[in-house]
Amino acid sequence: MEKTCCFAGHRKIYDNEMKQKISEVIEFIYTEEKVKNFLVGNYGDFDRISARVVSEFKKAHNDIKLEMVIPYLTKDINSNLEYYKMFDNIFIPDIPINTPFKAKIIKTNEYMINNSELLISYINYTWGGAYATYEYAKKKSLNIINLGQYKRSVF
């Protein structure tokens, strides 16, 4: 059975090795875990690096599917068309129309978690949307590979 992986990470990346780290994880989960579907957002360095790594991997593995999940349309899609061509699909999940604007990103991240078996994250600190997504994934018992420095303390 094919599995799905999603990504969540902080907006800024301060790790020059991140592309290589993501690449190694993608190779492993494709080979060992049979992950062939990838869901990625569009808010920050980690999402963009992850999307590019999966897109490159996809060139050698045509059974990969890369989808972008966004909370709402922006004009960036029209002005950055070349970037968006790498995706097999770009879609907005079914989010209630009365959801407050800022909460739509949270609901989009929850959609990705709810439709995945694995999360690749880049979490270094305990605040922000990426951390909230990481915590949501833990509550849903997703397998998580964190490429950041955050390690949960056990008390």
DSSP secondary structure string, 116-152? Answer: -SEEEEE--SS-SHHHHHHHHHHHTT-EEEE-SS---
Q: How far apart are CA 103 and CA 60, in angstroms?
A: 37
Give the model confidence (pLDDT) of 89-119 as tens digits: 999 999 998 999 889 999 999 999 999 999 9
Tell me if 7 sits within 8 A of 119, measured CB to CB: yes
Residue 151, pLDDT score: 65
The secondary structure element, H or E, covering residue 35 is strand 35-40
Q: What order do you get walking across the sheet with 118-122 strand by strand? A: 89-91, 65-69, 35-40, 3-9, 118-122, 143-146
pTM of the model: 0.93
Side chain identity at residue 69, one-letter code: V
Query: At residue 153, does pLDDT exceed 50?
Result: no
In this prediction, residue 152 carries a pLDDT of 55
Q: Where are the chain's structural domains?
A: 3-146
3-146: what fold?
Answer: Rossmann fold (3.40.50)
Q: State the pLDDT at residue 102.
A: 85
How does residue 131 score in pLDDT terms, banded at 50, 70 and 90? Answer: very high
Q: List phi, psi (to 5°) of 113.
A: -65, -45
Element (H, E) at 66: strand 65-69
Per-residue pLDDT tens digits for 22-65: 999 999 999 999 999 999 999 899 999 999 999 999 999 999 99
